A and B are shown apart, each in its own frame.
Chain A
Amino acid sequence: MDIVRIDSFYDNPGGHGGIRSWLFSTDHKRIGILYLISVLPLFALGVIFGFLMRLELITRGTTIMAAQTYNSLFTFHGVIMLFLFIIPVIPGVFGNFFLPILIGARDMSFPRLNLLSWWVYMAGAFLAILALLTGNGPPDTGWTFYAPYSLRTGTNVSLAVFAVFVLGLSSVLTGINFVTTVHRLRAPGMTWHRIPLFVWTLYATAWVQIFATPIIGVTFLLVIAERLFGIGVFDPAKGGDPILYQHLFWIYSHPAVYIMVLPGLGVISEIIPVFARRTVFGYKAIAYSSLGIAGVGTLVWGHHMFVSGYSYYAGTLFSFFTFLVAIPSAIKVLNWVGSLYKGSIIIDTPFLYALSVIFQFSIGGLTGLMLGALTINVFLHDTYFVVGHFHYIKFGTAGFAFFGGLHYWFPKMFGKMYNKRFANYAWLVLVVGFNTLYFPMFLLGLEGMPRRYYDYLPQFTGLQIISIVGSWILVTGLIMMFGNLIYAFFRGEKAEANPWGGATLEWQITSPPPRENFEKTPLIEYGPYDYRRSRS
């Protein structure tokens, strides 16, 4: 029963192989793998920084590092995790690899632009690492680079913000490419309401990237100009306005939170119907809620600035919009849970990740509402409560969705299957570690523990220790999970074309995908989660 062997995209036609066939490949699948390979070491670096920060807090006072080192660590933990990992990871890896396949296209609209955005990303990553190692010490401003401190510190801020500027360019290029691809390259019959939900989230995200990223670019250029030439834009001593900096920073950086989390929610929307074996509940509601989150999400940046001293009237409005954005987010959670109802649920590793994302997204979302309320925010501003909240969103939701997607698409991307039982254990350790690490932060924040501090008062010792132990469990889980996947990459069993019984297009082709996605452009006759018709 041997099927005819089809060249996978890993094979090199005519024997032209080697590293160049990867570094200069315009194949969207290879670019996806390139992103994966380049993002993971940076993620590891971010994890190490976070781990060391936790470890520093194991005793009061200076334990393993002084305050200045701690300041640099939280700055770089933030810069790496946000700009180099969580923003590019899902669009870069899964978006590139699967977007064309999911809509029945041969490749992206602009394959060479796609390769360029990877190169630009690498340039940005290189500059960021350079900023860490050169100059008068790494930046100590926090990833927010708030003026006027960022204008006055002697550390290497100019290079670091320039790195972020370059990364932003990569992000815009990716956005333009995704949007054009979705508009122009859908296969015949792939109407807007037959696009898989993951594609919808990538589409919404891409627009946010196009609209919002230039603003941070201009802002950071202004920071550089002010540092180099002393132009007074943000520095009050020169007649500038530091609140203006906060506005401009968050006009990008709040939508950026949705750039991070929306594709993750899209991955979950792919996983849930497959493992519930039924069509997703409220397809249109989920699809449009992605646009809703992206749209309203651009109007809420001011909720980071309630204590900055801007007008209370503005504060009230921003608080209101923050409550509004909770609606589309809640629609997603409701529809996922609704999709499970009366489904024939099969519990497998990707599904476990999806469940933990629903749980952690709910905690992150609800604590976000608390922070969005003007009065509570004044009390909790800049405490561990905020740190707990955004880690539940960025790590507990977007990060776990990436892990879930990795387990879901691993057999497709590499043609190998991992040890599922071990993967489930790794998941359990990760969930326990994650919640032990971050849940105590809510309690610490409520008791008044400020963020970005290398030291604390004696009454916080107990909860700090619990949280630190959590970081050890979490790192153990990460090692187990990646160890299992890396083992599977080298020694795993061969995976079937469709191990989960998915109905979307990527499962209808071989694993790993052939070089040419589809022999013949597919004709789409029904929606992406129609299991009854896909089986016939």
Chain B
Amino acid sequence: MPWYLLTFVFFTVFLTGASYAENGPEIPEVQAEIGIEERLGANIPLDLSFSDESGKEVQLRTLINKPTILSLTYYRCSNLCDNISANIAGLLGRLQSEPGKDYSVITVSFDERDTPADALHEKEEYRKMIGRPFPEEGWRFLTGNSENVRRLTNSVGFKYQKEGDGFRHPATLIVISSSGKIIRYLYGTTYLPFDVLMAFSEASTGRTGPTIPKALLLCYRYDPWSRRYVFNVMKVTGAVVLLLASSFFIYLLRAGRKNLQG
């Protein structure tokens, strides 16, 4: 019975594999203290001040007066953040609503070392990628001190952690109504105009939208060496299945037809 054998083999290999892994290169044990703790319907503190691309202090209250897409990244990130911002640009290029009038976009860096100059650079990069004329005020890139950043990220339940020179953090967009209420989380790095329009329509009535595609994406550092045993399990079980099934086939071919007594 291949199944029982398989289960047995699987556990054996899994356990042996796990002990191999312990001998692999050391990686610091990381806690899963990153991710999103949804705060749908809560309000973000609108009195927080950040620096805009020119270094001028602005209060969130003056920026958020229409449905707003909030994204949280850091500007020197070389992994997922580029994807997030590039895909926001792609999204803005396809969105039918009028930017600056129907909605606005705000990107806030959670790395206090980022400067308004970094923000300006970022803004020029990504505005080009939108692929159509886009108002200057439609997409703001902000930087701020660590206390304001913490208050903002806490208020939306965005949990990130410093790791080495960079950060580990989730990838999500947060849609906020004109009164600062959290309407919807859009997870991942690709965003459908449909979801965003749904969120805007909910924002205009003040109703919160449930998070539908919950596939949470995290920007993380991945060390393939330390996790090789997973692939070994797969290789071994795959080989065992193939071996058992093909020897069964060969047996059937050799055994031929049963002698039937009529």
Interface residues in chain A, defined as those with a beta carbon under 8 Å from any beta carbon in chain B: 61, 66-68, 71, 146, 148-149, 152-153, 169, 172-173, 176, 179-180, 183-188, 207, 210-211, 214-215, 217-218, 221, 231-233, 235-242, 244, 248, 307, 382, 448-450, 452-457, 520-521
Contacts and interface: CB of A to CB of B under 8 A. Distances in A.
A221 B242 CA distance: 19
B58 interface: no
Contacts of A187: 260
Contacts of B220: 236-237, 239
Interface string B218-238: 101011001100100110011
Contacts of B192: 448, 450
Contacts of A241: 222, 227, 230
A146 B215 contact: yes
A214 B2 contact: yes
A450 B197 CA distance: 12
A521 B6 contact: no
A237 B32 CA distance: 6
B164 interface: no
Contacts of A248: 234
A349 B35 CA distance: 57
Interface of B: 2-3, 6-7, 10, 18, 27, 30, 32, 34-35, 190, 192-195, 197-198, 201, 207, 209-210, 212-218, 220, 222-223, 226-227, 230, 233-234, 237-238, 241-242, 245, 248-249, 252-253, 255-258, 260-262
A509 B29 CA distance: 69
Contact of B35 (A183, A237, A452): A237
Given A68-B210, A148-B216, A176-B248, A457 B201 contact: yes
A239 B222 contact: yes
A218 B10 contact: yes
A169 B6 CA distance: 11
9 contacts: A67-B210, A71-B212, A152-B216, A172-B2, A218-B6, A221-B10, A236-B218, A237-B220, A239-B223
Given A172-B3, A218-B233, A248-B234, 17 more contacts: A67-B212, A71-B212, A169-B3, A173-B3, A179-B252, A183-B256, A184-B257, A217-B3, A221-B10, A233-B230, A235-B32, A240-B230, A307-B190, A382-B213, A457-B197, A457-B201, A521-B261
Contacts of A244: 230, 234
Contacts of A185: 257-258, 260
A180 B10 contact: no
A218 B255 contact: no
B214 A217 contact: no
A236 B188 CA distance: 13
A149 B216 contact: yes
Contacts of A232: 227
Contacts of A179: 248-249, 252
A450 B195 contact: yes
Contacts of B210: 66-68, 454
B252 A214 contact: no
Contact of B255 (A67, A146, A184): A184
A146 B213 CA distance: 11
Given A210-B245, A211-B245, A214-B241, A457 B3 contact: no
Contacts of B194: 448-450, 457
B245 A148 contact: no
Nearest to A519: B262
Nearest to A185: B258
Contact of B260 (A68, A188, A210): A188
Contact of A180 (B32, B198, B215, B252): B252
A521 B216 contact: no
A241 to B, nearest CB: 7
Contacts of A173: 3
Contact of B6 (A217, A238, A448, A453): A217
A439 to B, nearest CB: 21
B22 to A, nearest CB: 13
A455 B198 contact: yes
A235 B32 CA distance: 10
